Structure 1
Amino acid sequence: MQKKDKIVVSLVIILGFLSAFGPLSLDMYLPALPDLAADMGVSASVSQLSLTACMIGLAAGQLVIGALSDSVGRRKPLLIGIFLYFIISFICIFTENIILFIILRFIQGFAGGAGSVLSRAIARDYYEGKNLTRFFSFLMLINGLGPILAPIIGSGMLLISDWRGIFILLTFIGLLLFVFSFFMVGESLPEKEREQGGLMGILIAFRTLLKNREFMQYALPQGLLTGMMFAYIAASPFVLQSIYALSPQMFSFCFALNGLGLVIASQLAGNFSLRYTEVSVFKFGVILAVSASLLLLLLLAFLAPVGFIILILFFAISSVGIINTVGTSLSMQSQSKNAGSASALIGLMGFLFGGIVSPLVGLGSGKTGLPMGIVMVGCAISAIVIFLLYQKGRMKYEN
């Protein structure tokens, strides 16, 4: 596939919306979590399992679909995944059993993983180097509308409907994205460039990536910091609404503000990568995540006013915008042959860590924000320690 020299706006827009399956499936639904828990008669921690299931589904879907796309191409798995997302979203509307709902959310996440993983793989098919970093920054600009608009739309839906209304909207969005993808997204991976090893070839590709220091030194910290963001996503409705007594509408405004920080940070990362080395920008993002999360934990421990909590959350979540933009580019620049598998592992790590930490932040039963702060600090410190260990190992290897 011949690389593109210029950023194609139409490609940025459609891939940006496809990559937003995660925010659409998670963030729009956040204001309704307390409503869902009350409607189905379950605890906050149990209702958060529906978030966990969706995150794990997104991780598994990206792993399977991304690797498969290296063998069969990008277009067919993309269209099948989006159509399945549309069907499952429709079934969720009529679900009254929490166990069935959790299972459906896993399948919905699995199907939505197609948009997330293949948007990155298609971008790598077309771009490389600093052009790839710039493309990912533009992708985050569109993708970042999800965290900003989704909770606002979700809380707006709660004014005229219950949590089921949100899934009616997700059903419509799934259908719309299927139609646009069918007519606007072509095949980016020619048959001659596809992997021919079948299942064994896929497993070999994953093993090679896991042993690749150049890939893992960015992908693993990025996954941990994405997990930090998911800890915030899972806990913030209860921390800000139940503990600090914010209304669903005010919570959605605060959530959108942090989403705006994510977008601004991603654009700054794209611009700074043209002036400084991408590795330096990545290091700054990791340091910002550690500093902000530690300060957040301190504020939560001393029950600081909500304004301070929201301010520090803004910087903590903004750091993820830097990491995701530059980290994705640095990870995938060396993976032109296995772009689908590389994209799959990046997505897997983020959503897998997110799925692990989401139930942990609910251990306080919505009565304290400390679990959220502790988990976010744990993710951030783990990220910087792993990054430094890989850097130390790389320097030792080069010497």
Structure 2
Amino acid sequence: MTSSFFRTALILGLLTAIGPFAIDMYLPAMPSIGKELSAENHVVQLSLLAFFISFAIFQLFYGPMSDMWGRKAPLYIGIGLFALASIGCALASDIETLIAFRFLQGIGGAAGMVIPRAIVRDMHTGVQAARLMSLLMLVFSISPILAPLTGSAVIEFYGWRGVFWAVMIAAFIGLILLSTQLKETRPRDARAESGLGSAMAAYRLLLGDRNFLTLTFIGGLGISSFLVYLANSPFVLIDHYGLTPTQYSMAFSINAVSFFTVSQLTGWLGDRFGLIRVMRLAVTAFSLTMAAMVVVMGLGFNQLPVMAVFLFVGYGFLGLVIPTSAVLALEDHGEIAGTASALMGTLHFVTSAIAMVIASLFFDGTALPMAAGIALCAVGAFILTQATIGCRRVIEAEAAAE
């Protein structure tokens, strides 16, 4: 692979990570925000919810925009809005203002989640696309490792407002890289065929495409398993197992390391065995690992090291599932890659939100309900994968890839 291949992956990964970085860095700041702005904890949490809502919904708009206007213009708009909204958050004098600017921040950050995937599809298909997607995710996956630690350090020296100045600087760096290092990948003649009518037609097409939806929900359930862990692990690892916040950060980071390290094998494995076979094997191993975790913990072996080993192995396999399912879902939709990426992102967030709500209903502060929620997501992905095997279009795609 050439240096330009790695450079593209780095830039796209940074653009993708800007939105999630604003989530992960923000978490340690929430208690101090409530104290300074005289807001109850549940009201401060609304600022996080506002970001999530706009971040999920507005992906549906950026996809068609990138098909109609090209990839770079909506990225300029989105990342620029994110930077300006970050300044508004940093200067907010009350919680209502902060919530409003967090909503705008989510609108801007949604562009970075949708459009890089469309750019990957513009540039490559098959194994090369999987290789680029896995490199993009390598950069993206650094966020849950570095962001909480970085956020804590920034807060210690500059207060919670420093978090928003930091993500604003990251956004401006993204704009500079976008302007100087990334070429437009959506040709003008392709844009001429795109409009509001074609966008609605594209969404109807995608919602009727069993192949696309199945692969999207496979990836969505995989992501849901990680977000169920994200939402519950602070209470389980700190309150139940007694870890310190620093120890928790390290334990959380280990799973992310497993995920992005194994994901780098996607291109090599796909080239050797085919993307479909890699995805099927990875989903099967992922679901078996997480199901075994629940069985073992249910039998009374629920010590932290036992759960940690299962999670490390399981999320390693997930590192193969996410990039392969995304590449295969977009494979047949190059003409509407932006719209397809947008619908994929929104469905991922909707699936994750439902999974997190259901898991929260059964959470009792111990590890077993969290593990069960993770395992159910993994088994759901396995069931959908088996349904995908019977889909003629996927079988044909596998034969063509070989």
In the superposition, the TM-score normalised over structure 2's length comes to 0.87
- Counterpart of 2:282, as a letter, is G
1:237 matched residue in structure 2 = 234
1:329 matched residue in structure 2 = 327
Alignment: residue pair count = 393
* Other structure's SS at 2:265 match: helix
1:319 matched residue in structure 2 = 317
CA shift digits 1:63-110 (9 cap, x unpaired): 210121111111110011001111222222344655654454343222
C-alpha contact 1:59 1:348 (8 A) present in aligned 2: yes
- Counterpart of 2:270, as a letter, is S
2:400 matched residue in structure 1 = none
Please report how far the alpha carbon of residue 310 of structure 1 lies from its aligned counterpart in structure 2 after TM superposition: 2.5
Aligned equivalent of 1:349, options 343, 347, 350: 347
CA shift digits 1:348-396 (9 cap, x unpaired): 1222222333444445788334443333233222222223224335499
C-alpha contact 2:16 2:140 (8 A) present in aligned 1: yes
- Counterpart of 1:235, as a letter, is N
2:365 matched residue in structure 1 = 367
1:156 matched residue in structure 2 = 153
1:376 matched residue in structure 2 = 374
Q: Which segment is superposed worse, 364-373 or 177-186?
A: 364-373
Q: Which sections of structure 1, spanning at least 5 residues, go unmatched?
A: none
- Counterpart of 1:346, as a letter, is M
In the superposition, the TM-score normalised over structure 1's length comes to 0.87
1:247 matched residue in structure 2 = 244
* Other structure's SS at 2:65 match: helix
Matched, 1:307 2:277: no
Inter-partner Cα distance in structure 2 for 1:215 and 1:307: 38
Q: Which segment is superposed worse, 73-82 or 238-247?
A: 238-247
Q: Which segment is superposed worse, 176-185 or 265-274?
A: 176-185
2:65 matched residue in structure 1 = 68
- Counterpart of 1:321, as a letter, is G
Please report how far the alpha carbon of residue 288 of structure 1 lies from its aligned counterpart in structure 2 after TM superposition: 2.9
C-alpha contact 1:49 1:359 (8 A) present in aligned 2: no
- Counterpart of 1:323, as a letter, is V
Inter-partner Cα distance in structure 2 for 1:334 and 1:176: 33
Aligned equivalent of 2:208, options 208, 211, 235: 211
- Counterpart of 1:329, as a letter, is V
Inter-partner Cα distance in structure 2 for 1:380 and 1:298: 14
Please report how far the alpha carbon of residue 142 of structure 1 lies from its aligned counterpart in structure 2 after TM superposition: 2.0
Inter-partner Cα distance in structure 2 for 1:396 and 1:197: 26
2:288 matched residue in structure 1 = 291
CA shift digits 1:108-148 (9 cap, x unpaired): 22211111211111111111222111111221222222222
- Counterpart of 2:219, as a letter, is Q
- Counterpart of 1:221, as a letter, is I
Inter-partner Cα distance in structure 1 for 2:356 and 2:159: 23
C-alpha contact 1:55 1:354 (8 A) present in aligned 2: no
Inter-partner Cα distance in structure 2 for 1:48 and 1:288: 36
Inter-partner Cα distance in structure 2 for 1:305 and 1:94: 45
1:369–1:166 CA distance, 2 compared to 1 (3 A) = farther
1:366–1:86 CA distance, 2 compared to 1 (3 A) = farther
Inter-partner Cα distance in structure 1 for 2:279 and 2:4: 22
C-alpha contact 2:211 2:394 (8 A) present in aligned 1: no
C-alpha contact 2:144 2:253 (8 A) present in aligned 1: yes
The alignment-based identity, stated in percent, is 32
C-alpha contact 2:283 2:321 (8 A) present in aligned 1: yes
C-alpha contact 2:20 2:143 (8 A) present in aligned 1: yes
Matched, 1:134 2:118: no
1:241–1:365 CA distance, 2 compared to 1 (3 A) = same
Aligned equivalent of 2:185, options 180, 188, 192: 188
2:399 matched residue in structure 1 = none
- Counterpart of 1:334, as a letter, is D
* Other structure's SS at 1:341 match: helix
Inter-partner Cα distance in structure 2 for 1:321 and 1:265: 6
1:36–1:315 CA distance, 2 compared to 1 (3 A) = farther
1:49–1:316 CA distance, 2 compared to 1 (3 A) = farther
Inter-partner Cα distance in structure 2 for 1:295 and 1:105: 40
- Counterpart of 1:224, as a letter, is L
2:383 matched residue in structure 1 = 385
Inter-partner Cα distance in structure 1 for 2:69 and 2:30: 38
- Counterpart of 2:86, as a letter, is S
1:161–1:247 CA distance, 2 compared to 1 (3 A) = farther
Matched, 1:83 2:75: no
1:306–1:345 CA distance, 2 compared to 1 (3 A) = same
1:210–1:329 CA distance, 2 compared to 1 (3 A) = same
Inter-partner Cα distance in structure 2 for 1:149 and 1:176: 17
Inter-partner Cα distance in structure 2 for 1:354 and 1:312: 21
What is the RMSD of the two structures over their aligned residues, measured on CA atoms?
3.0
Inter-partner Cα distance in structure 1 for 2:258 and 2:395: 37
1:41 matched residue in structure 2 = 40
Inter-partner Cα distance in structure 1 for 2:93 and 2:366: 29
Please report how far the alpha carbon of residue 11 of structure 1 lies from its aligned counterpart in structure 2 after TM superposition: 1.4
C-alpha contact 2:225 2:373 (8 A) present in aligned 1: yes
- Counterpart of 2:180, as a letter, is F
Please report how far the alpha carbon of residue 287 of structure 1 lies from its aligned counterpart in structure 2 after TM superposition: 1.8
Inter-partner Cα distance in structure 2 for 1:26 and 1:237: 15
Aligned equivalent of 2:122, options 116, 121, 125: 125
* Other structure's SS at 2:264 match: helix
Aligned equivalent of 1:280, options 259, 277, 294: 277
1:26 matched residue in structure 2 = 23
Please report how far the alpha carbon of residue 37 of structure 1 lies from its aligned counterpart in structure 2 after TM superposition: 6.6
